[in-house]
Amino acid sequence: MRRGQQGFTLIEVLATLVVFSLLVSLLYAVLTPAGEGFKRLRQVRVAYEQSLGAGWRINQDMACLVQPLDGEAPTLAVSNDNRGTDAFDELWLVAATEERPGLSRIHYYIDEQRHVLVRESAPLRARQGHAPLSSRLGRAEAMDIQLLDAQGHWHQRWVKRGDWPRAIRVTIRDGKRKRQWLLPVWLGRAL
C-alpha cells in the first residue's frame, strides 16, 4: 500500500476472511457437542421434574381430602385392574384444592395409548358434559395402588365402611424405573 492511501488491499481482506472462517469452524466443532449435551441434560431434567410432579401432586390432593356432607360421592375410591405383571389402577378423590372453589372430584389414571399418568379434576357437582381439567404428570406404563389399614396390612381394595385407610402406597412404573410414594391419609383422624 502506498503512502497517503487509506484502506486495505484485496489480499489483506481475503487473508482476514480465511482466518475468521477457520476460527468460526473451530468454534462450531468445539461447541456443537456441548450443545447436544445441554439438550440431553434438559431432557433428563424435564423427566426428573415430571417424576417428582406426580408424587407431589398426589400428596397435595391427599392432604386436601374432604368428605362430602350428603355422601353423594366416596371421598376415596380405588379401581384395581391387574393384567399380568402390570397394574392399571385408578384413584378417585374428593378434595378441596386451590385450583377451583368448592369440592373437586379428582381422577388419576394411566393413558394406555400415550403411556402417561393423567390427572383430571372437575367440580363435584358439575353439570352434564362439563369437561374436566386434565394434566399429564409424566411418563408411566403401570400404576399400582395399595391401602394400609389400622393393623398395618396392605390391601388392593378398601371395603371397610366408616373406617379410613392410614396411608396409600402408589407405585408407578416407567419402563425399568419404578417410583413409589407412601402418602398418609389424614381424613378421619384427629391432628
19 found inside a domain? yes
Residue 39 lies in a domain: yes
Find the length of the chain: 191
184 falls within a domain? no
Strand partners, 170: 145, 181
Q: Please report whether residue 42 resides in a domain.
A: yes
Higher pLDDT, 48 or 151: 151
Domain that holds residue 115: 9-138
For residue 89, the number of C-alpha atoms closer than 13 Å in the C-beta half-sphere is 21
- pLDDT grade for 4, boundaries at 50, 70 and 90: low
Decide if 23 is inside a domain: yes
Overall pTM surpassing 0.95 (yes/no): no
Instruction: Name the nearest CA neighbour of 161 among 153, 151, 176, 149.
Output: 149
CA–CA separation, 138 and 58 (whole Å) = 13
Residue 190 domain-assigned (yes or no): no
Whether 162 maps to a domain, the answer reads: no
Q: Is residue 13 part of a domain?
A: yes
Q: Write the pLDDT tens digit of every residue in 126-173.
A: 777 777 888 888 788 888 888 888 888 888 877 655 677 888 898 888
Q: What DSSP designation does 126 have?
A: P
Domain count, the chain: 1
Q: Residue 1 and residue 10: Cα distance in Å, rounded?
A: 11
